[in-house]
Amino acid sequence: MTTTTRVTATRLGRTALAAGAALALFAALPTASAHAATGTFFYHSRDAGDLEMNNPANNECRLLVQGGATSADNQTDTTATIYFDHGCEEPHSTLRPGQSTGFFGSLPHSVRFG
């Protein structure tokens, strides 16, 4: 009987160790909803003037107010991808942290960070 008890205790210990390791790994994984770009994304719209987004969430499509942006200044710590359309499907350009640009012709209408 001693052998059976020892085997059961060893199995329980291994199971507990595996569960603890899985929990630690899960807790260390970043989640898209929990992470946001740090800083401010500034842009200018013909229709609404100067606007800004503070600490925008990563991987979320954000609209640039109707009429599109005529300029943008990415003062976040994350790359911003600018899109022609309203649904972040037609890429226009990217702005690395600290970059700014003006837009001419077809204006962009959405942005995504990350």
Alpha-carbon span 9 to 7, nearest angstrom: 5
CB 60 within 8 A of CB 41: no
Q: What is the pLDDT along the chain (114 residues), one digit of tens a residue?
A: 555 555 555 555 565 555 554 444 444 444 444 589 999 999 999 889 999 999 999 999 999 987 899 999 999 999 999 999 999 999 999 999 999 999 999 999 999 999
What b-and-e string marks burial along 75-84, b requiring 16 or more CB atoms within 10 Å of the CB? bbebbbbbbb
Q: Say what the pTM is.
A: 0.69
